[in-house]
Structure 1
C-alpha cells in the first residue's frame, strides 16, 4: 500500500552544514514529519559562486528531491534562496519555503536606527536582497559584512577557532562603533558561531536568527496545502551529502547532538544528482 502524500518527506538543502541550524527548528516545530537533508558539500561554499551556478545546483537538487517524492522543499540557504527561489517556484509544482535576511524585523526592532547584517557576498549582490532593503530599511542605516572565510571554518567544525574570532571581530567592531544595536544572521551557517558573536557584541545588542520563523512558515505552508503528517509514524531525518560522508556524520553529531546518524552520499553527473552514483 502506497503512502499518502501527507506521509512523504520534506526536502531541506544547503551548501553544507549551515542548514542544520534550520533543520533543528523544523524538527522542533514539526516533530512527526520526515525530512531529507541534503548538504551540497561538493560545491560549498555557495557564497562566492555566480548566481547562474547556484541556480543550476538548485535546479538539480530540486529534481533530485522530486525523485525522492518530497511533498515540500525548504531552501535552507540564504544564498540559494536569493539566487534561485523565485525561479524554482516558477519551474516546479512544489511548495517552497526559503530564507531571506531578516531585514524587516531588524528595521522594526532597532532603537538606534542602525542595523548590521552578516551574510554572504552572493546574498548581498542579489536582486532579492536589494528589494528587501529598499522596501523595509527606509530610514535605517544598514551595515553589511560578508564574513569572508567564516563558512569554511564552520564546515570544518572549527566553531571557536582563532580565524572565527578574527573574522567576526573584524565584521562586528565597526558596527558596534557606529551604534548598531541589531544584528541579523543572514547565512544559515552563522548561528553555529552565535556564542562567539554574543561574546563580541554583549547583551545590549539584539541578534536575529530567521530560522525559527522559517520553521513556523513551513508549518503554515503545509497546512495551506493540507500536507501535514498525521502523526501515525514517528518523525525522522535522512542525511545525504555530495561530499565525504564520515566528516559530515561527525558534524551532524556535533551540531545536532545526533549520535550514529547514517549518512548517504550523492554524486553529481553533470547537472543531475543520484544517490551513490545510481
Structure 2
C-alpha cells in the first residue's frame, strides 16, 4: 500500500504566544532620547536573535522636568507607534516614564510592557555603609514608584536621592568628557560620598554612558549599579514565558526612529551605539495609524 507524501510547499506557520504575537515580531524599546541605547545594548547581548526597534524621543527630551501629563502623552504616542509596527513587547527604557506612565501603558497595551526602575533593592543588599546614593532626574525622584521602592526596600538603609539636571543633555550631545561634564558629575556625586554613600544607583538610562567618569570621581571602593542588564533579563523571561521568544537562527536587526533632527540623531546614535545606522523620523501621532515603517 503506497502512502501519500505530505506536500512540501506549505509555509511554516509563525508561532504565536499567549498575546497572539508572532515569535518573529520585533521588540520596541524607547526613551526620552539616546539614554535607552544603554538598555538596548544589554538587550542585544542577552537576546541576539531578536529584531529591535528603538525610538529616541529627542525632540521632547529631557523628560525629567516635564509635567506628568506630558510624559504620559508622549509614552502613549510612542506605544501606539510600536503597536502599529506589530511589536510583541515594549520596553520603557526610561526611569521617568516608569515612574510616571508605565502603569497606564500596561493597562492600554495588549503586549507585555517591561520597564526599567532604579536598582534600590539590589543596592540595599550590597551596601556596607548602609548609605545609598540614587542619581536620577527630578521627575523620577518625585515619583510615587520611587517612594514605594524606598518604603519596600529601604528599611535600615539610608537612601539619598540626588537630582542631576544637565547630565541628560550632555549625553544627548555625546559630550561624555570635557570640563562641563566632569564638573556636573563631581557636583552630584561628591555630596553623596561625603554623606557616607558606598553604593551609587544610576537612576537614568543616560547615566551609564557616563559610568566611567562617575566611577573615576567616586573612586574604586564605591559600587555603581546599572539596572540595564536586569531589564534585558526580565524581557527574556517574559518572552519565554509567553512563548514569543524569537525562534530564528539569524542575528537580529535594529531599526531607529527619532522625533528630533535626523542628522543629529544619526551622529549621536553612531557614537553611542558604535555604528552609523539608518535613522527615520518618528511620525506625528496623527500619522501613526497610517505608518507602516
Task: Give the TM-score range, shorter chain.
Answer: over 0.9
Tell me the secondary structure at the aligned position of residue 251 of structure 2.
coil
TM-score normalized by structure 2?
Answer: 0.90
Tell me the secondary structure at the aligned position of residue 48 of structure 1.
coil
Cα displacement (A) at 1:267: 3.1
User: Structure 2 residue aligned with 1:163, among 177, 180, 185?
Assistant: 180
Residue 275 of structure 2 is aligned to residue 265 of structure 1: no
Q: Larger Rg: 1 or 2?
A: 2
Q: Which residue of 1 aligns with 2:114?
A: 97
Distance 1:61 1:151 in 2: 20
Cα displacement (A) at 1:167: 1.3
Moved more, 245-254 or 28-37: 245-254
User: Structure 1 residue aligned with 2:224, among 192, 200, 207?
Assistant: 207
User: Structure 2 residue aligned with 1:148, among 165, 175, 193?
Assistant: 165
Q: Which residue of 2 aligns with 1:236?
A: 253
CA contact (8 A) 2:171 2:209 kept: yes
Q: Cα gap change, 1:170/1:273 in structure 2, threshold over 3 Å: closer, same or farther?
A: farther
Q: Cα gap change, 1:61/1:145 in structure 2, threshold over 3 Å: closer, same or farther?
A: same
Tell me the secondary structure at the aligned position of residue 187 of structure 1.
coil
Moved more, 243-252 or 6-15: 243-252
Q: Which residue of 2 aligns with 1:25?
A: 42
Distance 2:248 2:220 in 1: 40
* 1:1-278 superposed matches below 5 A: 5-258=22-275, 260-269=276-285, 273=288
Distance 1:206 1:42 in 2: 33
Structure 1: runs of 5+ lacking an equivalent: none
CA contact (8 A) 1:35 1:238 kept: yes
**Superimposed CA distance per residue, residues 225-253 of structure 1 (whole angstroms, 9 cap, x where no aligned partner):** 00100124430100111111111111122
Distance 2:111 2:291 in 1: 25
Cα displacement (A) at 1:163: 1.8
CA contact (8 A) 1:265 1:276 kept: no
Tell me the secondary structure at the aligned position of residue 272 of structure 2.
helix
Distance 1:163 1:154 in 2: 12
Tell me the secondary structure at the aligned position of residue 282 of structure 2.
strand
Q: Cα gap change, 1:109/1:242 in structure 2, threshold over 3 Å: closer, same or farther?
A: same
The number of residue pairs the alignment matches comes to 276
Q: Cα gap change, 1:141/1:124 in structure 2, threshold over 3 Å: closer, same or farther?
A: same
Distance 1:59 1:173 in 2: 37
Structure 2: runs of 5+ lacking an equivalent: 1-10, 16-21
Q: Cα gap change, 1:42/1:55 in structure 2, threshold over 3 Å: closer, same or farther?
A: same
Tell me the secondary structure at the aligned position of residue 267 of structure 1.
coil
Tell me the secondary structure at the aligned position of residue 240 of structure 1.
strand
CA contact (8 A) 1:116 1:142 kept: yes
CA contact (8 A) 1:58 1:84 kept: yes
Give the superposed CA RMSD.
1.8
CA contact (8 A) 2:84 2:292 kept: no
CA contact (8 A) 1:16 1:39 kept: yes
